[in-house]
Amino acid sequence: MSDLILGIESSCDDTSVGVVGRDGQVLSNIISSQAELHSVYGGVYPQLASREHLRAVLPTVELAMKAADVSHADLKAIAVTRGPGLIGSLIVGVDTARALARGWGLPIIGVNHLRGHVRSADLEETRVEYPAMILLVSGGHTLLAHMTSPRSIELLGSTRDDSVGEAYDKTARLLGKGYPGGPIVDKMAASGSARFDLPRPMVNNGLDFSFSGLKTAVRMLVERSEQLDQDDVAASFVDAVLDVLTSKVSRALELRKSSSLIVVGGVAASPPLRERMAAVCAEHQVRLCLPPVKWATDNGAMIALAAWDYVDNHVGADLSPKANLGLAAW
């Protein structure tokens, strides 16, 4: 049996399936995106998301297997995201994985989506050196954690309300733009000037995050005037977000000895965030570990790679879908 795992990811709005080796070699990764479907609503509509997963998941599995040029006989196991995420979307993925595992006679591994993001930094090549600091920034999560090994994760801080990705999406909606908001707002910001004084919530207070106040400040700014330069609004928003993230990461690196800084999650694809984190790492003399941009957003490959940690640590196959699964949980 080959050292290959098939990973299924369906925690939110993208259906993705990847085939990955133990060393992070990606044989295939196919994504069926729902972005166009949800753009009408300015965010993910849960019932539509689960319905689209039902339609897309088996064809995506077939495409991933074909692209990797493997059959089920070449697989060691099937891995699937069991949480956190939208419960309907999670159930589709888990039930599909159960059926495939039974039909193919393979073991099945329920994977924590957040651990998948953390492991995405080692897709294609090994980048992470331990101990490592983690900044996970996505549409659903913003957190800081410290790892001494893939098995040991200590949560240091998380968002008290909205995630960075949610703040990006809300700002895009306020500016009358589409979904997902991250790439749109970053592109606008690159052409604008950060001339508006927006708040930096909790910037000098601990390691937790809060972005609801920043979202409100952007809304009030936009509502006060219809003549605002939208690029300047976007630039001011991005500057505020980066100041908060930079401050928190710097403080965390001062508190915990780290050889690496892992920056993962969909917002890790942001060019200005990558630049800021590179500067932070240079200042603190730690290695910056970023996944290639194509692995920053949700994907099946990261779930497959994370599953190898479950195999190596003899972790039981908990398949119960859990919408609010925490980072420390397997």
Contact at 8 Å (CB) between 319 and 82? Answer: yes
The H or E element containing residue 214 is: helix 212-224
Strands (E) across the chain are located at 4-9, 15-21, 26-32, 77-83, 108-112, 132-137, 142-149, 152-158, 260-264, 287-289
- Can you give the pLDDT of all 330 residues of the chain as single tens digits? 468 999 999 999 899 999 999 999 999 999 998 877 777 777 787 888 899 999 999 999 999 999 999 999 999 999 999 999 999 999 999 999 999 999 999 999 999 999 999 999 999 999 999 999 999 998 889 999 999 988 889 999 999 999 999 999 999 999 999 888 899 999 999 999 999 999 999 999 999 999 999 999 999 999 987 788 999 999 999 999 999 999 999 999 999 999 999 999 999 999 999 999 999 999 999 999 999 999 999 999 999 999 999 999 888 778 999 999 999 898
- Backbone angles phi and psi of 285, in degrees to 5: 60, 50
Instruction: Supply the angle between the helices 271-284 and 230-255 in degrees, to the nearest 10.
Output: 30
Contact at 8 Å (CB) between 138 and 163? Answer: yes
